[in-house]
Structure formats: structure tokens, C-alpha cells
């Protein structure tokens, strides 16, 4: 490699509609590309987007993907079997008896990812203290394994009762399976989730098994296609399941995790449960970086693309995390008070609420004649009617074209032509005529309903967490977030909005700001008043040793990274609950806290305060129980001091555009500007800022100006 050659890191964010590509040089220079996603083979869209940016020396690729999520939503995972303890075959069916809509008699529980016929029992028993009450019947276990293998399964999950405290029998089964089927992907719960709660542990292990072959094949295919694209360096896929599936020398491939860190592609192929919310997490990381740069402490994020809208909260410059969420239930509204709609996944994740409200959300009339927007999406293919690619249903994007908010001729600086006539005709014929409304009033209703859908997600991460959204700044990004930000902010009483440069590519920037991170958990059930400080610290020490071993197991690359990036940062946390409760709150702890004489008392007070803030009450006379210890090992990523992107003006900006702002205001002639024209002095709306990757709407009664970092700050007028 030429020592004077510029070195780049590559971020690739695949969404349901667009694929975003960002290259950042070691000197802070930035190159970007936005192309339509290719659902049949996402790698094709990536290669098409990279073509005009190559050849350049790339040392690292960080990838955010929806492959794992889509696999579950579309039920296209591996044919999966489950081996469990005798008497626990139906744990997945019984679940927690929770329903997302209590009085909806038409709601149907999602079918288990491992059918009952493929769930088999073995005779063994480990008690709650980890003692072997009944040894594993090895011969019977062999018979069960042989029967399962005869069903031509593609993946196998093993989850035995109390294996989180003593994995001996699961290890035995793993050896037997490897003996009879050495190439079969196997997920042991003691490796996937060594944590109490039988149902959550079983569900998480089965999800991992269900995804493992699909994600592994995807990452192999991606690495092969990247090699064919002639990127300097190489990404290699090893043929054996038991070898590291993806390696790179000198080119390293990482995948974004749901928790906001990145992991090697080899680890992602083995434990894909950590990358299910891969794409949405990147936008939150980018928002945190932006908040730190401009001096904001409290931010509510809105990431709205072509398929969904996601909301998350940053408080005191800390990202909110959840130890559990649900996937596959359609619309995901992250609330501790409404569960049961999907498959429980007990892994740490950024607390993100997601609703089916994107630019491609289909507009329709339900059986009662009410106007609905989403959650079904036209996606990238065939897309909205105005794309002219065969889409026959009106969408939110079509409504925005009718309102005049979007350029009627094209998007992406001319790269994506639009047919405004089709948008008008489809919305008029299928929605406006049946409702006996004008097309503009219909479109404006669609716009406001979409904002109301987004508000559900925003309230789930703020009001339902005991936080007042009026105390936060709204950071809006994604291809459609800046177009709908003011309507959402107004509905929540928020007065300030931040639109970063390159908002449509913002999540891809977040990929390159994420740190390498590994999360470990160990159940540690004790009453807080009965804890022994020495034993507590020793258990944390064992978790720390495991974390360092896991980092080193990544190979020489991780070791070099560790040496060159200021070593490993360890973050500790503990799950607490009132004794008898079934859910916990997670509180961070540091070494300085542990050393204090009153540490456990202080921890109890912090828990009580957090419980009161979250649920509205505390129980001072109830004992507090420690449930799990958590440890996160982080290798920091170098943070390049770039300004994201010098704004590039959209082609052929028209001086004005007629926009509709509802029946009271009607049609107005609205100036169309580029970001670089907007000055630091606030300018009163209405006006539109048109960019390569998004459109920003500043309606009447709002003002906007550009700050020193290039962000657009929108505020409600006094």
C-alpha cells in the first residue's frame, strides 16, 4: 500500500427503499451515494452504488442491514428444530399470555418459529441451584437427535431447564449433535443467553437458530460480491460453518448491532440475534455524535425512511437501552406496558419504537371507510405510484407530491424521475372520490395521519418512559423525516428541530461512529440486602475475563485494534426489581460506586427513584432483588472530525412551488431554497429546502436558520 494513499472506511446502510453508502477518508473527506435497494439481492444495490466511488483503498466496512428483521417478518428463516427438557416442549406456545390488544378478538398469536412437531424432549434435570437432579439419558438423546436429523432440518436450537446456571447437559447434547451432524448449525442457550426466564431464553435461542443459516449465507454472498467489485483489499468467506465465516485481510467487515455497537461479520453469522435492529441503531448513534458536537443533552430522534418511522431518546447524552424487545409482530411500539405481539428477544438493544409510517406507506380505506396510512409499504419495488415503476396504490410520497411538498419532477438530484400526474390520479381515484373530498384535502389528511402514526412511536419512548418530549430537541433525519418533522413536533408540543447535513444518509454516517462492542450477561439472583461485596466484585471480574477472551477470540485484527484504539472500555450494569416482580430495570454501575461502604444502599435508592419515574410509584417496604449482572466490552472507534458533507444543491431548483397547508391556510407560493443559501439568521416560513437526499419543509408559523456546523435549526415562531 502506498503510504501516501488516502485510506477510507466504508459505511453501508440498507433500508427497505434505499441503500445509503458513505466513504470517509483518514483526512476527514467524505463521499456519498444513494441508490434504490435491490431486495432480491441487496449486494447488487451496494455494488451499483459503489461503482462511481471506486477504486479507493478501503480498510474497513461497517454494514447496517434489515436482512434479519425481514427474515422473521416474512417467515423465510431456516427450518428449525428445538430440543428441550421433558415437560417443557410447549414453552413457546404458552409464552407469557400477553396480548398487545386486549379486546381485539381477531388478533392471532404468531406461530412459533419451531413447529411443535419439530420440538422434542430429552430426559434430564438440573435444579434451580445448578445441581444435577437427573443425569442426561444419552441413548435417548441420540434417538431424538437422529429423528430430528431425518426431518431435513436446517438449524437446531437446544434449551434445557436451568442451563443458564449449569450448562453441562447442553454441552453434552452439543457434542452428540456435532458427532452425528458436524455441519449442522446449532444454537445452545448457554452460549446465546445464559440468563434466567425459561420462555425468553427459549424464544431467543430459537430465533438465533432460525436466522443463523440465512444471515451466514447473506454475509458470504455479500463478501463474494464485494470481492467481485474490485475493492482494494479482500473479504473472504470460509466454507466451513465451524470456521470463522467471514474474515478479511486487510479489509475488515463489521455489522451494526441492535445495541449500537458493531461486531465482526464472523460473530454476526454465529449469533445473528444481535443484528436484528441493525439499521435503526445507526441513526441513534449518529444523533448522539451530533448532540455531543453541538452541545445538546436531550434529543428525541426521528428516523423516517421509505418503509418505517423510528423514534428513540437520548437523555443527558446517554442512549436509552432496553434488555428485551419483540420482533415479528408487525408494528413495533417499544413499551414495557404492551407486549405479546411478536417474538421476545432477550438481548440488549437501543430503545427504539418503530411504526409502519414511511414514504412508501400505502394509503387505503379500511372496511369501515376510514382513511389509513400504512403499515403496509410499496417498498422500493414497485414503489409509490409517482415512481412510474408499476406501483398502483397511493402512498404517503404520492400525497406529498399532490401537496407540492416534493419536487414534482424528480428526487435525489434528478436520479429518480417522478410522475406527478400518476400521483394525482391514483390518490384522486382511489381515496378522494370515495371520501367525497378534494385531492388536496385528502392529501393533507394523509400527511396528518402519518404524523399521528409517528407520534405513537415518539410517545412510546418519551411519555411512556416518564419523559416530557417538550424538554427535548427533535433530531429528524432519513429521506422523509425532515419533511414531516414540524407536524410531529407540533403534535408533541416540541419547539425546536435539528436537521443535520445529509439527513437522508445520516444513519450511514452513524455506522462509522459506532464502537466495536460485546455484551455479556450472567444471572445472579440475590436480595440486595444479602449481597456480599467481595463475591459481587468477583462475579463481575469473571464476566470481565470472559469479555476480554471473547474480544481476543476475534483474532489478530481485534487484538491490533485493541492496542491501537486505547484498549478496551468496560461498562457494568445490574438488573434490579422488587422481589416478586417479573420485569426489571437496568442501572449502570462503576468501580467507584462498588468501593463505597453504602454502595448497595445507594443502588437501592437509585432503583426506587427510577422505578417511580418509570411506573409512577415506589415500594419502600418491599425487598429489592438483583437478577442479572451485565458487562459491555467496547473498543472505541476513531472519530474523524468531518462535517458530514458539504451540502450539494439539488439540480434545477425552481424559484417557487405551490404548496397546500390545509383548508384554513390553503395554497401558498413557497420559495424553494438549497441549504447553502440559508443563512445563520432565522428565516420565517413557509419555504422548502430541497437537497439531494431529502426535502425539508418549513411551514407557516415556523422559522429556520443554519448553525455553524451546517445543521438546519427549525423553531416555532413566538
CB 461, CB 286: distance < 8 Å: no
- End of a domain among 620, 635, 650? 635
**What does the CA dihedral 405, 410, 415, 419 come to, rounded to 10 degrees?**
130
Q: 122 and 54, same structural domain? A: no
Q: Pairing between strand 186-188 and 155-159?
A: parallel
Strands (E), 99-228: 119-122, 125-126, 132-134, 155-159, 186-188
Q: Residue 650: what pLDDT? A: 41
Q: Residue 532: what pLDDT? A: 82
Between these two residues, 376 and 200, which has the higher pLDDT value? 200
Between these two residues, 244 and 306, which has the higher pLDDT value? 306
**Residues β-bridged to residue 523:** 628
In-domain check, residue 503? no
The one-character DSSP state at 615 is H
Evaluated on CA atoms 60, 62, 68, 71, the torsion sign reads negative
Measured between alpha carbons, how far is 384 from 419 in angstroms, rounded to an integer? 10
Distances (CA, A) of 31 to 394, 497, 508, 646, 696: 34, 26, 12, 10, 22
Distances (CA, A) of 183 to 180, 201, 242: 9, 24, 8
CB 11, CB 32: distance < 8 Å: no
Peptide bond preceding 698: is omega within 30 degrees of 0, i.e. cis?
no
Measured between alpha carbons, how far is 403 from 574 in angstroms, rounded to an integer? 50
Task: Of 279, 261, 204, give the one whose Cα is nearest residue 16.
Answer: 279
In-domain check, residue 549? yes
How many CA atoms within 13 Å lie on the side-chain side of 524? Answer: 24
Measured between alpha carbons, how far is 358 from 365 in angstroms, rounded to an integer? 17
CB 223, CB 241: distance < 8 Å: no
Q: 45 and 84, same structural domain? A: no
Q: 230 and 186, same structural domain? A: no
Q: 269 and 170, same structural domain? A: no
Chain-centre distance for alpha carbon 408? 32
How many domains are contained in the chain? 3
Distances (CA, A) of 575 to 185, 270, 527, 609, 624: 31, 26, 12, 14, 11
Task: Of 669, 674, 675, give the one whose Cα is nearest residue 700.
Answer: 669
Measured between alpha carbons, how far is 366 from 171 in angstroms, rounded to an integer? 52
Measured between alpha carbons, how far is 65 from 321 in angstroms, rounded to an integer? 20
Mean pLDDT for 624-642 is 80
Q: Residue 700: what pLDDT? A: 94
Could you tell me which residues come within 8 angstroms of residue 407 by beta carbon, excluding any fewer than 6 positions away?
Answer: 418, 650, 654, 657, 690, 695
CB 171, CB 190: distance < 8 Å: yes
Could you tell me which residues come within 8 angstroms of residue 675 by beta carbon, excluding any fewer than 6 positions away?
Answer: 501, 647, 649, 689, 691, 706, 710, 712
- Rg, the chain, Cα only: 26
Mean pLDDT for 596-606 is 85
CB 44, CB 183: distance < 8 Å: no
Lowest mean pLDDT among 99-103, 419-423, 536-540, 554-558: 554-558
In-domain check, residue 323? no
Q: 142 and 55, same structural domain? A: no
Measured between alpha carbons, how far is 489 from 440 in angstroms, rounded to an integer? 22
Between these two residues, 418 and 622, which has the higher pLDDT value? 622
Q: 143 and 37, same structural domain? A: no
Q: How confident is the model at residue 75 (pLDDT cuts 50, 70, 90)?
A: confident
Q: Residue 544: what pLDDT? A: 86
CB 647, CB 691: distance < 8 Å: yes
Measured between alpha carbons, how far is 409 from 424 in angstroms, rounded to an integer? 13
The separation between the first and the last C-alpha atoms of the chain, rounded to the nearest angstrom, is 58
In-domain check, residue 404? no
Q: Convert 480-504 into a string of H (helix), E (strand) and C (coil).
A: CHHHHHHHHHHHHCCCEEEECCCHH
Question: Which CATH number does the domain housing residue 44 bear?
Answer: 3.30.420
How many CA atoms within 13 Å lie on the side-chain side of 434? Answer: 14
Distances (CA, A) of 352 to 456, 457, 515: 12, 8, 19
Dump pLDDT digits (tens) for 384-400.
Answer: 988 888 888 999 999 99
Could you tell me which residues come within 8 angstroms of residue 44 by beta carbon, excluding any fewer than 6 positions away?
Answer: 38, 225
Lowest mean pLDDT among 441-455, 459-473, 559-573, 655-669: 559-573
Measured between alpha carbons, how far is 223 from 251 in angstroms, rounded to an integer? 10
Q: Residue 333: what pLDDT? A: 44
Q: How confident is the model at residue 27 (pLDDT cuts 50, 70, 90)?
A: confident
Q: Residue 307: what pLDDT? A: 79
Distances (CA, A) of 604 to 582, 586, 631: 18, 12, 19
Q: 120 and 187, same structural domain? A: yes
Written as one string, the DSSP assignment of 453-480 is HHHHHHHHHTGGGT--GGGSEEEEETTT
Measured between alpha carbons, how far is 591 from 196 in angstroms, rounded to an integer? 25
Measured between alpha carbons, how far is 406 from 403 in angstroms, rounded to an integer? 8
- End of a domain among 586, 605, 635? 635
Could you tell me which residues come within 8 angstroms of residue 325 by beta carbon, excluding any fewer than 6 positions away?
Answer: 258, 277, 332, 334, 344, 345, 349, 351
Measured between alpha carbons, how far is 292 from 567 in angstroms, rounded to an integer? 22
Lowest mean pLDDT among 45-59, 81-95, 230-244, 294-308: 230-244
Measured between alpha carbons, how far is 190 from 194 in angstroms, rounded to an integer? 5
Task: Of 453, 369, 440, give the one whose Cα is nearest residue 398.
Answer: 440
Q: Residue 641: what pLDDT? A: 53
In-domain check, residue 642? no
Distant-in-sequence contacts of 669-673, Cβ < 8 A, 24+ apart: 670/404
Q: 128 and 83, same structural domain? A: yes
In-domain check, residue 497? no
- End of a domain among 275, 290, 321? 275
CB 202, CB 90: distance < 8 Å: no
CB 151, CB 118: distance < 8 Å: yes
Q: Residue 536: what pLDDT? A: 87
Q: 85 and 143, same structural domain? A: yes
Measured between alpha carbons, how far is 208 from 233 in angstroms, rounded to an integer? 31
Q: Does position 131 have pLDDT exceeding 90, yes or no?
A: yes
Q: H/E element holding 250?
A: none
- For residue 50, what are the domain limits? 7-71+213-275
Q: 222 and 203, same structural domain? A: no
Measured between alpha carbons, how far is 127 from 102 in angstroms, rounded to an integer? 35
Lowest mean pLDDT among 71-75, 409-413, 493-497: 409-413
In-domain check, residue 689? no
Q: How confident is the model at residue 608 (pLDDT cuts 50, 70, 90)?
A: very high
Task: Of 351, 357, 310, give the one whose Cα is nearest residue 334.
Answer: 351
Q: Does position 331 have pLDDT exceeding 60, yes or no?
A: no
Helix, strand or coil, per DSSP, at residue 223: helix
Dump pLDDT digits (tens) for 417-468.
Answer: 788 899 999 999 999 999 999 999 999 999 999 999 999 889 988 988 888 9
Q: Residue 640: what pLDDT? A: 58
Evaluated on CA atoms 279, 280, 283, 287, the torsion sign reads negative
And the C-alpha cell for 297?
443533552
Q: Does position 644 have pLDDT exceeding 60, yes or no?
A: no
Between these two residues, 512 and 15, which has the higher pLDDT value? 512
In-domain check, residue 531? yes
Q: 96 and 173, same structural domain? A: yes
**For residues 424-452, b (16+ Cβ closer than 10 Å) or e, as one string?**
bebbbebbbeeeebebbebbbbbbbbbbe
| Angle formed at CA 91 by CA 87 and CA 96, multiple of 5 degrees | 135
Q: 171 and 83, same structural domain? A: yes
How many CA atoms within 13 Å lie on the side-chain side of 39? Answer: 13
- Give the number of other Cβ atoms within 10 Å of residue 4's Cβ: 5
Tell me the pLDDT of the chain averaged across its residues.
84
Amino acid at each position: 500500500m502506498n503510504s501516501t494513499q488516502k485510506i477510507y472506511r466504508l459505511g453501508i446502510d440498507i433500508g427497505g427503499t434505499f441503500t445509503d453508502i458513505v466513504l470517509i477518508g483518514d483526512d476527514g473527506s467524505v463521499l456519498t451515494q444513494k441508490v434504490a435497494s435491490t431486495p432480491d439481492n441487496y449486494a447488487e444495490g451496494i455494488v451499483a452504488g459503489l461503482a462511481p466511488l471506486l477504486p479507493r483503498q478501503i480498510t474497513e466496512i461497517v454494514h447496517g442491514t434489515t436482512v434479519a428483521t425481514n427474515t422473521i417478518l416474512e417467515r423465510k428463516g431456516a427450518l428449525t428444530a428445538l430440543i428441550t427438557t421433558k415437560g417443557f416442549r410447549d414453552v413457546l406456545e404458552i409464552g407469557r399470555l400477553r396480548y398487545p390488544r386486549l379486546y381485539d378478538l381477531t388478533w392471532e398469536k404468531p406461530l412459533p418459529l419451531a413447529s411443535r412437531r419439530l420440538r422434542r424432549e430429552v430426559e434430564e434435570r438440573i435444579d434451580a441451584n445448578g445441581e444435577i437432579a437427573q443425569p442426561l439419558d444419552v441413548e435417548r438423546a441420540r434417538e431424538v437427535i437422529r429423528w430430528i436429523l431425518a426431518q431435513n432440518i436446517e438449524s437446531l436450537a437446544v434449551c434445557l431447564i436451568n442451563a443458564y446456571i449449569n450448562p453441562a447437559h447442553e454441552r453434552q447434547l452439543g457434542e452428540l449433535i456435532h458427532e452425528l451432524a458436524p455441519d449442522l448449525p446449532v444454537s445452545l442457550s448457554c452460549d446465546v443467553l445464559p440468563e434466567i426466564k425459561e420462555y425468553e431464553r427459549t424464544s431467543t435461542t430459537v430465533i438465533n437458530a432460525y436466522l443463523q443459516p440465512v444471515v451466514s449465507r447473506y454475509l458470504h454472498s455479500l463478501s463474494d460480491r464485494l470481492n467481485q467489485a474490485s475493492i482494494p483489499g479482500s473479504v473472504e468467506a470460509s466454507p466451513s460453518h465451524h470456521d470463522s465465516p467471514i474474515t478479511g485481510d486487510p479489509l475488515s467487515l463489521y455489522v451494526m448491532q441492535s445495541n449500537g455497537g458493531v461486531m465482526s461479520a464472523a460473530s454476526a453469522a454465529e449469533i445473528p440475534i444481535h443484528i436484528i435492529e441493525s439499521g435503526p441503531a445507526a441513526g441513534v448513534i449518529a444523533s448522539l455524535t451530533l448532540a455531543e458536537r453541538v452541545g445538546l443533552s436531550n434529543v428525541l430522534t426521528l428516523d423516517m425512511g421509505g418503509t418505517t418511522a423510528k423514534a428513540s431518546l437520548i437523555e443527558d447524552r446517554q442512549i436509552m437501552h432496553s434488555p428485551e424487545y419483540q420482533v415479528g409482530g408487525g408494528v413495533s411500539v417499544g413499551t414495557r406496558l404492551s407486549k405479546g405481539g411478536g417474538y421476545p428477544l432477550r438481548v440488549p438493544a437501543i430503545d427504539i419504537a418503530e411504526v409502519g409510517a414511511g414514504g412508501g406507506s400505502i394509503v387505503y380505506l379500511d372496511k369501515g371507510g376510514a382513511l389509513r396510512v400504512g403499515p403496509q409499504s410499496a417498498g422500493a419495488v414497485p414503489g409509490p405510484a409517482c415512481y412510474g415503476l408499476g406501483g398502483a396504490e397511493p402512498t404517503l410520497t404520492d400525497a406529498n407530491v399532490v401537496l407540492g411538498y416534493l419536487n414534482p419532477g424528480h428526487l435525489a438530484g434528478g436520479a429518480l424521475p417522478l410522475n406527478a400526474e400518476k400521483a394525482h390520479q391514483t390518490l384522486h381515484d382511489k381515496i378522494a372520490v370515495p371520501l367525497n373530498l378534494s385531492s388536496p384535502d385528502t392529501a393533507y389528511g394523509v400527511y396528518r395521519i402519518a404524523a399521528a402514526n409517528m407520534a405513537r412511536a415518539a410517545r412510546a419512548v418519551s411519555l411512556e418512559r416518564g419523559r416530557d418530549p417538550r424538554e427535548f430537541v427533535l433530531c429528524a433525519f432519513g429521506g422523509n423525516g425532515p419533511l414531516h418533522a414540524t407536524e410531529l413536533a407540533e403534535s408533541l408540543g416540541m419547539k425546536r428541530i435539528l436537521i443535520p447535513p445529509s439527513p437522508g444518509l445520516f444513519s450511514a454516517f452513524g455506522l462509522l461512529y459506532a464502537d466495536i462492542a460485546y455484551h455479556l450477561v450472567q444471572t445472579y439472583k440475590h436480595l440486595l440486602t444479602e449481597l456480599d461485596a467481595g463475591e459481587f466484585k468477583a462475579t463481575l471480574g469473571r464476566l470481565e475475563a470472559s469479555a476480554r477472551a471473547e474480544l481476543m477470540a476475534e483474532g489478530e485484527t481485534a487484538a491490533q485494534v485493541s492496542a491501537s484504539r486505547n484498549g478496551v472500555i468496560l461498562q457494568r450494569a445490574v438488573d434490579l426489581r422488587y422481589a416478586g416482580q417479573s420485569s426489571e430495570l437496568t442501572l449502570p454501575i462503576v468501580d467507584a460506586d462498588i468501593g463505597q461502604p453504602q454502595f448497595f444502599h445507594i443502588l437501592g435508592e437509585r432503583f426506587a427513584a427510577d422505578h417511580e419515574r418509570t411506573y409512577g410509584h415506589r415500594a419502600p417496604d418491599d425487598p429489592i432483588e438483583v437478577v442479572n449482572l451485565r458487562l459491555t466490552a467496547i473498543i472505541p472507534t476513531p472519530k474523524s472530525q468531518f462535517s458530514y458533507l458539504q451540502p450539494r444543491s439539488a439540480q434545477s431548483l425552481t424559484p417557487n412551488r405551490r404548496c397546500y397547508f390545509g383548508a384554513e391556510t390553503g395554497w401558498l407560493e413557497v420559495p424553494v431554497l438549497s441549504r447553502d443559501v440559508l443563512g445563520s439568521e432565522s428565516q420565517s416560513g413557509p419555504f422548502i429546502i430541497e437537497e439531494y437526499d431529502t426535502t425539508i419543509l418549513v411551514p407557516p408559523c415556523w422559522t429556520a436558520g443554519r448553525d455553524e456546523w451546517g445543521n438546519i435549526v427549525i423553531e416555532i415562531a413566538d
